[in-house]
Structure 1
Amino acid sequence: MIWTLARLKDPPVAKRVRILHLYPHFVKDALDTMDLSSSQSLLSKFGELAGLIRDQKKLILKQKPRLPLKFKTCRDLMQVMMEIFSGLPNLTDYHILWCGLPSVGSDPALVLSSPLRLNLRCLRLEISLEKLQYVLSSFHNQSLPELEELDLFIRVEHLNADRYDNILLMLAHMISSLHSSLRKLTVQLWEPFDLSLLFAAISYLPLLDKLSLSIPMSFPNLGNPDGLIGFLNAHSNTLRTLSIRASELGGRSLMMHNELQLGAWMDQTFSKVHLACITKLEISLYLVPFESALICVRTFSNTLTSLVFTGSHLAYEDLDLLTAAFPPSCQKQALHHARIGPVTLSPQLIDLFAERFPEMDKLELLVKSIVPSEGDVPLFCGRSNSDRDQDEGQVRRFIEEMKHRHYSDWKLRYLDLSSGSYPRLMNEEQFKSVFMQSIPALRTFV
């Protein structure tokens, strides 16, 4: 670490640093080592390292001021780090990871907050609320840089909700102070926790156009739905992109009642949200129930031009419900881009998309298997998942069926069929040829 600091002290290196990740375990190491009776050996080791650096970079160190490499206390070390980290003139992305380390206390806060004096664009905080209090307190007399992106990954070390109200209000004040610059906000929790006070206390952010939510599966999820409902409705005229996924990172078991409870929470929340200007919706179905995701699509479908709907296999019946959630394409606002899957590709599925979305410009399908007719069971060969290929006969029959189809009114120009399932030995030009012939508007096939 000392060697890294010495390099960062060098201006030609410092000006090239764009991204910085900090995890303050070094403070615990330094405190634990300096508490030993043999602390002199630590200083001598620093001295030996300083000698190595001087020998290896003698010319450079002759020309530039050297970094002090002997530290009597841990605070001396941190003072040097503060000076260095606040002197990275072109730093744009800053990532803090600080949770655990109970013996460290508030000591790293000044070091971690020192880059916040720079002209940052993106700040990612993976931090416990207990530690966040120290960082916010250490910076309360100065304004934050004009961040465009704020990514919050919040942990709670003791899960005692009564003691966190003031910290949530401090965090809300920090977010609100970014009203003149913040465009993207990401909120993720390690454990289910009530964030309703946070959402309710954040003031209007006039430039916020993208919100990403990771919702814990277990109660209380993100807390009282009214907090998030109020936040979303307050930004109805600014939000353009909404990303939703579910998570269960804290180790609680994934039981069926969790999925049902998450579905009920999502239904209660998003059925009461009105976003007048939303154009892009991203939903991961990995843990989100399909029915709840469908409610979100129906809620926002009138203004959507882009949809990402991935993470779980979708049957033809699911896709029928999904595509039916959109208004008739004759309306001025229509879906122009979709990324969907995994799916079982069939001629009837292509028919469905061509009929429901004639104005679509770009379609990306994550293909799990291919069948010549809807309802057929895909057949595979190969013993392990790594070398399984689908039966070549089924794929050939699919191609033959597609040769009889012609979508003259479909305006699709870009088609991406991402798959590792159909035979690798089959000439992919056959796929490209048959789709280029059946879709006259098509210009790119991947």
Structure 2
Amino acid sequence: MSLPNDVWLQIIEYMSPLAIQELYSVNSTFFNVAMDQRYQQISFSYLSRKMIWILARLKDPVVAKRVRILHLYPHFVKDALDTMDLSSSQSLLSKFGELAGLIRDQKKLILKQKPRLPLKFKTCRDLMQVMMEILSGLPNLTDYHVLWCGLPSVGSDPALVLSSPLRSSLRSLRLEVSLEKLQYILSSSYTQPLPQLEEIDLFIRIEHLHFERYDTILLMLARMISSLCSSLRKLTVQLWEPFDLSPLFAAISHLPLLDKLSLSIPMSFPNLGNPDGLIGFLNAHSNTLRSLSIRASELGGRSLMTHNEVQLGTWMDETFSKVHLSCLTALEISLYLVPFDSALLCVRTFSTTITSLVFTGSYLAYDDLDLLTAALSSRRHKHALQSARIGPLTLSPQLVDLFADRFSEIDKLELLVKSLVPFEGDVPLFCGRSNSDRDQDEGQVRRFIEEMEHRHYPEWKLRYLDLSSSSYPRLMNEEQYKSVFSQCVPALRTFI
């Protein structure tokens, strides 16, 4: 049977890694599928025999062309420096016994028992030179992920290696780096034009950098992003700890293709910095941005010790109340750490244009959902809301009434259901000793079903309903839920 490799790749997603390995010897088609699966994503972090073998395999163009995703963490440079005796002619490979924690007297015996490695390096520079040549020769690489934090002993040495995969085929770049390391990567990238990246994901940390040096590096980063004005469509910004990013936002030139922005806001002051920087950036892209994702974070440093929801809420209110995005259609807000009132302000700000909403991350009471649905139905919309993912919540017949009334034009509704009650205000009852095996009282849910059987929403245009939950009773047959909602909502075509 002759099928395209893409089809076989989808088939083997349902197979175990061991079964995939057995495909190598079946025929040429299975061999290529298995090889594509094996080399489509590779990672280099610590210096090891396995790393050297993979590098040697990538010198073969037939193997190199299979790589699509690359992860690099330059600890291998530190490993090489730590184990290299620059005054000795002894190769790095002959010292792998030491890398493995073996004593010098055992080294020769162990090397005799293992196959000779295919690449030899006399110095750390030799290793990096070979890596640069190999990683710059991955013709079909599309996604590149860099992690470079810490490792003070390696200085700027890894920069040339980390910059080498920046080729024309690259589509997505994720940089999880400290600011002081970022300046080395940016300086190296000036020697060659960047590929026409469509996505940049920035996760920025701070090590021991003085505040007066922030702006210089942020301006370098802004120039790099601005150079992608003819290709960049998605930008993600996340900070390990709060600091002022306003110089970055203010210095980025207009990106005419940018249609998706994702922001992770640190919990404590100064959050993302002076709100004017982000306000100006968002308003400058009012005619292109169609998707906005907002969340808060408390990953490290001050955000863990001094986070303040009131201060975060004040920053968000000051920022998003002054933003106008005339083409925004998709809004996603994670309520985990984000104050409800500030999230609601964002919904109200963009309610006239959004057709897709994700509003999840924290439990929503009926009163919260009343305010949310009112914010989306009380103002005149260019286009009605077409899809929404909301919750977790307690589903009651009265809440279904509210959705049917306020979201009458919606096509797809996904609700993260924590429990079911027959009347709004009832307290859900559960049985079971532990959270893992708790089920809601079956009688209570039966009364919910009975109440819903008396309801009918002929004007509701809902065609897709997903009640995602691990809480409400597994004892109840899913067909009962499907049957009652299909009777209530004549337009319904898909129920999950």
What TM-score results when the alignment is normalised by the length of structure 2? 0.84
Give the counterpart of 1:4 among 49, 54, 74.
54
Residues 148, 181 of structure 1: 8 Å contact kept? yes
Q: Which residue of 2 aligns with 1:175?
A: 225
Map 1:435-446 onto structure 2 (within 5 A).
435-446=485-496
Distance in 1 (CA, whole Å) between partners of 2:172 and 2:73 is 17
Counterpart amino acid of residue 441 in structure 2: D
Residues 183, 209 of structure 1: 8 Å contact kept? yes
1:217-251 CA distance string (max 9 Å, x none): 01100000000000000000000000000001014
Q: CA deviation at 1:10?
A: 2.0
Q: Does residue 1:381 correspond to 2:398, yes or no?
A: no
1:193-226 CA distance string (max 9 Å, x none): 1000000000000000000000000110000000
Give the counterpart of 1:162 among 212, 218, 238.
212
Q: CA deviation at 1:411?
A: 0.2
1:409-433 CA distance string (max 9 Å, x none): 0000000000111111211100000
Distance in 2 (CA, whole Å) between partners of 1:157 and 1:256 is 19
Q: Does residue 1:187 correspond to 2:237, yes or no?
A: yes
Give 3-state SS (helix, strand or coil) of 1:116's partner. coil
Q: Which residue of 2 aligns with 1:220?
A: 270
Q: Which residue of 1 aligns with 2:359?
A: 309
Give 3-state SS (helix, strand or coil) of 2:336's partner. coil
Give 3-state SS (helix, strand or coil) of 2:410's partner. coil
Q: Which residue of 1 aligns with 2:161?
A: 111
Give the counterpart of 2:246 among 186, 196, 209.
196
The verdict on how the C-alpha distance between 1:188 and 1:39 changes in structure 2, with shifts beyond 3 A counting, is farther
Q: Which residue of 2 aligns with 1:102?
A: 152
Q: Does residue 1:140 correspond to 2:190, yes or no?
A: yes
Distance in 2 (CA, whole Å) between partners of 1:25 and 1:370 is 51
The verdict on how the C-alpha distance between 1:348 and 1:159 changes in structure 2, with shifts beyond 3 A counting, is farther
1:276-315 CA distance string (max 9 Å, x none): 0000000000110000000000000000100000000000
Give the counterpart of 2:299 among 237, 240, 249.
249
Q: Does residue 1:434 correspond to 2:484, yes or no?
A: yes
Residues 268, 303 of structure 2: 8 Å contact kept? no
Distance in 2 (CA, whole Å) between partners of 1:50 and 1:172 is 53
Distance in 2 (CA, whole Å) between partners of 1:41 and 1:72 is 5
Distance in 2 (CA, whole Å) between partners of 1:241 and 1:282 is 8
Distance in 1 (CA, whole Å) between partners of 2:308 and 2:317 is 14
Matched length: 434
Counterpart amino acid of residue 375 in structure 2: A
Residues 92, 123 of structure 2: 8 Å contact kept? no
Distance in 2 (CA, whole Å) between partners of 1:163 and 1:274 is 32
Give 3-state SS (helix, strand or coil) of 1:72's partner. coil
Distance in 1 (CA, whole Å) between partners of 2:111 and 2:170 is 32
| Alpha-carbon RMSD | 2.0
Give the counterpart of 2:450 among 383, 388, 400.
400
Residues 91, 122 of structure 2: 8 Å contact kept? no
Give the counterpart of 1:208 among 250, 253, 258.
258
Residues 326, 353 of structure 2: 8 Å contact kept? yes
Residues 453, 488 of structure 2: 8 Å contact kept? yes
Give the counterpart of 2:313 among 263, 267, 273.
263
Q: Which residue of 1 aligns with 2:19?
A: none
Q: Which residue of 2 aligns with 1:59?
A: none
Counterpart amino acid of residue 222 in structure 1: L
Distance in 1 (CA, whole Å) between partners of 2:366 and 2:153 is 55
| Seq. identity, % | 84
Distance in 2 (CA, whole Å) between partners of 1:383 and 1:249 is 33
Counterpart amino acid of residue 265 in structure 1: W
With 88-97 and 116-125 compared, the bigger mean Cα shift is at: 116-125
Q: CA deviation at 1:256?
A: 8.2
Gaps of 5+ in 1: 56-66
The verdict on how the C-alpha distance between 1:437 and 1:301 changes in structure 2, with shifts beyond 3 A counting, is same
Q: Does residue 1:234 correspond to 2:260, yes or no?
A: no
Q: Does 1 or 2 have the higher relative contact order (CA < 8 Å, sep 6+)?
A: 1
Counterpart amino acid of residue 239 in structure 1: L
Q: Which residue of 1 aligns with 2:200?
A: 150
Counterpart amino acid of residue 244 in structure 2: D
The verdict on how the C-alpha distance between 1:253 and 1:382 changes in structure 2, with shifts beyond 3 A counting, is farther
Gaps of 5+ in 2: 1-50, 97-107
Give 3-state SS (helix, strand or coil) of 2:416's partner. strand
Counterpart amino acid of residue 250 in structure 2: A
Give the counterpart of 1:391 among 441, 445, 458.
441
Distance in 2 (CA, whole Å) between partners of 1:266 and 1:398 is 39
Q: Which residue of 1 aligns with 2:461?
A: 411
1:111-154 CA distance string (max 9 Å, x none): 00000024100000000110010011112132100000000000
Distance in 2 (CA, whole Å) between partners of 1:254 and 1:322 is 30
With 256-265 and 134-143 compared, the bigger mean Cα shift is at: 256-265
With 171-180 and 130-139 compared, the bigger mean Cα shift is at: 130-139
